[in-house]
Amino acid sequence: MSMKTYELTPGAMTLSDLRMLYRSPMQVALASAAWADVAAARRVVTDVIRDGDVVYGVNTGFGRLAQTRIDSGQLAELQRNLVHSHATGVGPLLDDDTVRLIMVMKINALAQGYSGVRREVIEGLIAMVNNGLYPAIPAKGSVGASGDLAPLAHMSLPLIGSGQVRLEGQLMDSSAAFQTAGLEPLTLEVKEGLGLLNGTQVSTALALKGLFDAECNANAAFAAGSMTVEAALGSRVPFDPRIHAIRGHWGQIEAARIYRSLLTDSEIAHSHADCDRVQDPYSLRCQPQVMGACLEQMHNAAATLVVEANAVSDNPLVFVGDGGILSGGNFHAEPVAMAADNLALAIAEIGALSERRMALLVDSALSQLPPFLVEDAGLNSGFMIAQVTAAALASENKALAHPASVDSLPTSANQEDHVSMATFAGRRLGDMNDNTRYILAVELLAAAQGIDLRRPLRSNPLIETAHAAIRRVAAAWDKDRYFQPDLEAVAGLIRSQPIGDWVEPLMERRP
C-alpha cells in the first residue's frame, strides 16, 4: 500500500501538517529549493576549517570543554564520539509516531541552511523516515537545554551504524535494519554531530503529542458534558450566546456555541421545561467558562509549538550572508516548557470538570436518578467505585500539573546553569491525557446510563448518536458486572472521535 508524500518546505510546517505527520506514516520529500541553502551553509563551515579558524562546535570540544581545540585530523572522530557519549537515555522507548515527528522536525531545522551539515545527513534522515526505520529513543534523560541532547543522540545513532531502530514494530540493530532497507550508514563530518544533537525537537514533539491527545479529550468532553446536562435535566439557559458575548473571551464564546449545537431541543428537555430548579451546579452551568479557558490555553500552546517546530534551535548557527558562525542559546526550550505547562492546566481542568459532572449524576439528590445509576441500589453498587476511579485520576492530574518550567538543575559543570525541563514538561502530558481520557470514559458511561434511565423519552439526534456509539461498545447497566472492560472500550472510542471534531479547527484559527 503506497503512502502519501509530504513535501516539506523548510520553516513552513503548519499545525495541520504536524498533526498529520504524527498520526500516520508517510513519505517525506524536501522541496528542491532548500538544497542550495544547505550547500551554502556547508561551504561556510568548510571554509573555517580551511582557514584554520577556531570556532565553537566546529573544531572545539563541547559544553564546559569548549575551550579545548581539536586537531583537524580528529574532527571526524569527534563527531562519532559526541553521538556515542551523549546517548545516555533511560526508560521506556518513545512511540514510533512521536519519533517520526521528531525526525521530520529535525529535517525541517537542518534544511533551513543555518546548521552547516551536508546534504547527505538530511537525506539519511529522510531515507530512515521513508523506510519506516524509527530510532529507539529512551524517554528519559533530557533537561531541555542544551537542547534534547541525549534523546537526539539516540535518534542519530542509526545514521552512523549504531544503536537500534524499530521496523514495523520490531526492535532490531540498526545495521541489520539498514541492510534490509538497502541503506548505508554515514561517517559524520565536522559540525554534523552537534547539528544533529542540539535542538528542541524531542521536547516539541512530546508537547505536540500532548496537544493532539488533548484535542481528542476536549472533543469527548463537549459530548460528555452535553450528555450529562441532558441526563441530569440541566438547563440550556447558561449557553445562551448573549451571556458569553458580553464577557468577550473567544474561547468561552466558541465553547458555548459547541454546547448549543449539541443541546438542541429534545423530548427530555421538554419534560422539565416547567421545573422549579433555579440554577444548576457549576459543573453544568459553567462549562463554557471552564472549557473556553482550556481552549484558549490549548490555542496559545499550539501557536508556540508551531513556531518551535519551524525553529532552528541548534548551536552554533551558520549565517551565509556574512560568513559568520555565531554561538547563542536557541537550544534552550523554555518556550516549549511553558507551553507544555499551560497544556497541563487545560488537560487537568478538562478532567476535573468531568469528574464533578459524573459525581453529580451518581448523587440522586442532585440528578433525580436512582442512586449510583442502578436499580436495586444496595444489592448493586452501580457506578459508585467508577466515580472513585475518576476522583483518583483527577487528583493525580493535580500533582502532574505542577509547572515543570520553574524547575532547574545545573548541568555540565555549571556551564549549563539554567535549564528548561521541557522534555519532562511535554512527556508528563501523556500520563495526564491518559488520566483525563479515563475520567471522560467514566462520565460518558454514566451519562449514557442516565439517558437510558430517562426512557422512553428521547434526546436530540446528536446526543442519541453519541449514546448509540457508547452502546455499541458497552451495554446498559441493569445490574453489577465486571466494569473495567467498559472503561477500556469507551476510552478507545474517545480516540476515534465518534460524533464530531470541534476542537481541531479552533486550534488553527486566529481569535
Contacts of 419 (CB under 8 A, 6+ apart): 143, 144, 145, 332, 408, 409, 410, 411
The predicted structure's pLDDT at residue 60: 79
Residue 230 has what pLDDT? 97
pLDDT at 307: 98
* pLDDT confidence tier of residue 59, bands split at 50, 70 and 90: confident
pLDDT value at residue 276: 76
DSSP string, 372-424: GG-SSBTTB-TTHHHHHHHHHHHHHHHHHTS-STT----BTTTTB-----HHH
Q: Please tell me the predicted confidence (pLDDT) of residue 192.
A: 95
Q: Grid coordinates representing 204?
A: 516539541
**Average of per-residue pLDDT values in the chain:** 94
Active site residue 482: no
**307-362 confidence digits (pLDDT tens):** 999 999 999 999 998 868 998 999 999 999 999 999 999 999 999 999 999 999 99
CB 505 within 8 A of CB 452: no
Mean pLDDT to the nearest integer, 211-239: 97
Mean pLDDT of 363-367: 93
Residue-wise DSSP of 116-156: ---HHHHHHHHHHHHTTEEE--EEE---SSSSSHHHHHHHH
Q: Which residues, at least 6 apart from 260, have a Cβ–Cβ distance to it below 8 Å?
A: 236, 239, 241
Instruction: Identify the pLDDT of residue 448.
Output: 98
Is residue 155 within 8 A of residue 204, CB to CB? The reply is: no
| Residue 63: band (very low, low, confident or very high) from pLDDT cuts 50, 70, 90 | low
Q: Select from 145, 113, 104 the least CA-distant residue to 6.
A: 104
Of 208, 422, 429, 428, the residue nearest 336 (C-alpha): 422
Query: Does the pLDDT of residue 1 top 70, yes or no?
Result: no
Task: With cut-offs at 50, 70 and 90, classify the pLDDT of residue 419.
Answer: confident
Q: How far apart are CA 209 and CA 58, in angstroms?
A: 33
Which residues are within 8 A (CB) of 430 and not within 5 positions of it... i.e. 6 or more apart? 206, 209, 210, 213
Predicted confidence at residue 154, as pLDDT, reads 98
Omega of the bond prior to 456 within 30 degrees of 0, cis?
yes
Instruction: Give the residue, 79 or 347, on which the prediction is more confident.
Output: 347
Arithmetic mean of pLDDT, 228-234: 97
- In contact, 176 and 165? CB cutoff 8 Å: no
At residue 155, the pLDDT reads 98
Asked if the model's pLDDT at residue 64 lies above 70, the reply is no
- For the ranges 53-57, 164-168, 467-471, the lowest mean pLDDT is seen at 53-57
Q: Catalytic residue among 6, 22, 56, 134, which? A: 56
73 pLDDT band (50/70/90 cuts)?
Answer: confident
- pLDDT value at 76 more than 90: no
Average pLDDT over residues 410-426: 83
Among all chains, which residue has been given the C-alpha cell 568548510? Answer: 46
Least confident of 58-62, 330-334, 469-473, 477-481: 58-62
